[in-house]
Amino acid sequence: MSSEFTWSAEQVELRRTVRAFAAQLSPQEEVRRLMASPLGHDPAVWSRLGEELGVLGLATDEEYDGVGDGLVSQAVVIAELGRALVCGPLLGSIILGATVLGGLNDKAARAELLPGLVAGRTSAALAAPLHRGGFDPTAVTVTATVRHSASSPGGTSSPGGTATAEHTLRGSVTHVLDGAAADLLLVAAAIGGGDGDGDGYTIGLFAVNADAAGLVRQSTPTMDLTRRQATVSFNDVPARLLAAAPQAAAVLATTAETAAVLLAAEQVGAAQYLLDLSVEYARTRLQFGRPIGSFQAVKHLCADMLVLVEQARSVAYHGARALDEGTDDPRIAASLAQSVCSKAFTQVAAMAVQVHGGIGFTWKHPAHLYLKRAYTDAALFGSADAHQERLAQLVLDEAGTS
């Protein structure tokens, strides 16, 4: 095993602590209760993850109340939360929201908005088109219009305190992760005339408060009931400009890569749970007086699941280390993680249902919850096939310039 995948003593203890926390406060019965509740999660449990365990800000700098321990440790936590299907705004608030805010040049905005997220007191959602491990500016569906000027302090201002423009937003964004209940919306919008000739557009990144006038949020039914999505509409909604071009596009591109890698870690954690569950069932379930794990067909299924999980774990944590330390092209690392982990999780979930036989198809058994999570995850930031196409393009482009 290479040193890249050697866990530190602190990371081993971190995994043990989060797993024990999830087992105590997020058993299957609680997951089912929360996924049927209006909010979809327990704010008290989410706050404990942030303030008591301090695991929501592991990749956030210490000056913003984070830990500054990097993406590998954050991936360890996310894998354990995925293993237990812990309900909460993990994707919207931490994987997307905190990553966006942490990439801003505006230190005042980071200091104002990040501490609440990492403590679990507030939540965020990102309304921006992230596809195939990247940001697609051509798919932006919200426009920003200059409303008036304001100077710092108060309202919108540049980090240096000079006068900047306030904006209003119009448009709508579908499938916003954790968008229905978020306290803060981070929105990618096209600003007209951004290149100075009045005809072009540049992309800006805006902050919108949950109580802003003209903001409409409608929950969207999804296959995975443990993960909430919403359609968010902006009807001349006042917004604060956090970053303009080219910074906005760069931050969103980095966020897309980070999200692909951290989602891969979550997929690995959930797939590992299914593997453990299936092996235990094969060991204890008797048929014709023998454990079903003694039958060759079941052995092969469990062995295939193990290979898929270990391969996925390797590429997921390779991606986290690559983004942390620059050991690989982040675009390649992100798409590699998703192309492998999405397929691995969906295949492991299907095999787990097979191992469990008839009981695996029932509502009472947890297998269907993970199967739905697997197929939902696989579609969030681009399919495995789309990421494989991106990988091919990146590798061919690199080969053509060498």
Q: Do 254 and 380 lie in a common domain?
A: yes
Q: Do 71 and 135 lie in a common domain?
A: no
3-state secondary structure 188-205: EEEEECCCCCCCCEEEEE
Predicted TM-score (pTM) above 0.75: yes
H-state helical runs in 93-240: 99-102, 107-119
Q: What is the CATH number of the domain that holds 64?
A: 1.10.540.10
Please give the pLDDT value at position 195.
45
Dihedral sign from CA coordinates of 8, 13, 19, 22: negative
Per-residue pLDDT of the chain (402 residues; tens, 9 = 90+): 345 568 899 999 999 999 999 999 999 999 999 999 999 999 999 999 999 999 999 999 999 999 999 999 999 999 999 999 999 999 999 999 999 999 999 999 999 999 999 999 999 999 999 988 899 999 999 999 997 654 433 344 433 333 345 899 999 999 999 999 999 999 999 997 544 333 457 999 999 999 999 999 999 999 999 999 999 999 999 999 999 989 999 999 999 999 999 999 999 999 999 999 999 999 999 889 899 999 999 999 999 999 999 999 999 999 999 999 998 999 999 999 999 999 999 999 999 999 999 899 899 999 999 999 999 999 999 899 999 999 999 988 766 666
**How far apart, in whole angstroms, are the C-alpha atoms of residue 334 and residue 319?**
6
Please give the pLDDT value at position 401.
67
Q: Do 25 and 153 lie in a common domain?
A: no
Please give the pLDDT value at position 151.
44
User: Which of 122, 148, 182 is the C-terminal boundary of a domain?
Assistant: 122
Q: Do 53 and 102 lie in a common domain?
A: yes
Q: Do 220 and 355 lie in a common domain?
A: no
Q: Do 76 and 160 lie in a common domain?
A: no
User: Which of 96, 122, 148 is the C-terminal boundary of a domain?
Assistant: 122
Q: What are the start-end ranges of the E strands in 109-183?
A: 124-127, 130-131, 134-135, 142-150, 164-177
Cis ω before 246 (30° cut-off from 0): yes
Q: Do 22 and 132 lie in a common domain?
A: no
Q: Is 55 helix (H, G, I), strand (E, B) or coil?
A: coil
Q: Do 96 and 209 lie in a common domain?
A: no
Show the tokens assigned to 336. Answer: 């590699």
Q: What is the CATH number of the domain that holds 159?
A: 2.40.110.10
Query: What is the bridge-based pairing of β-strands 124-127 and 184-192?
Result: parallel
Q: Is 216 helix (H, G, I), strand (E, B) or coil?
A: strand
Q: Do 174 and 200 lie in a common domain?
A: yes
**How far apart, in whole angstroms, are the C-alpha atoms of residue 341 and residue 314?**
10
End-to-end CA distance of the chain: 30
Please give the pLDDT value at position 384.
92
The answer to whether the CB of 248 falls within 8 A of the CB of 204 is: yes
Which residues form the domain of 231?
127-245
Q: What is the CATH number of the domain that holds 307?
A: 1.20.140.10
Q: Do 7 and 43 lie in a common domain?
A: yes
Please give the pLDDT value at position 19.
97
Burial 212-241 (b: 16+ CB within 10 A, else e): beebebeeeeeebbbbbbbbbbbeebbbbb
Please give the pLDDT value at position 319.
96
- Split into its structural domains, the chain has a count of 3
User: Which of 84, 100, 122 is the C-terminal boundary of a domain?
Assistant: 122
**How far apart, in whole angstroms, are the C-alpha atoms of residue 131 and residue 138?**
11
Q: Do 138 and 230 lie in a common domain?
A: yes
Helix (H) or strand (E) holding 30, with range, is: helix 28-35
Q: Do 235 and 329 lie in a common domain?
A: no
Q: Is 232 helix (H, G, I), strand (E, B) or coil?
A: strand
Please give the pLDDT value at position 6.
81
H-state helical runs in 224-329: 247-284, 296-325
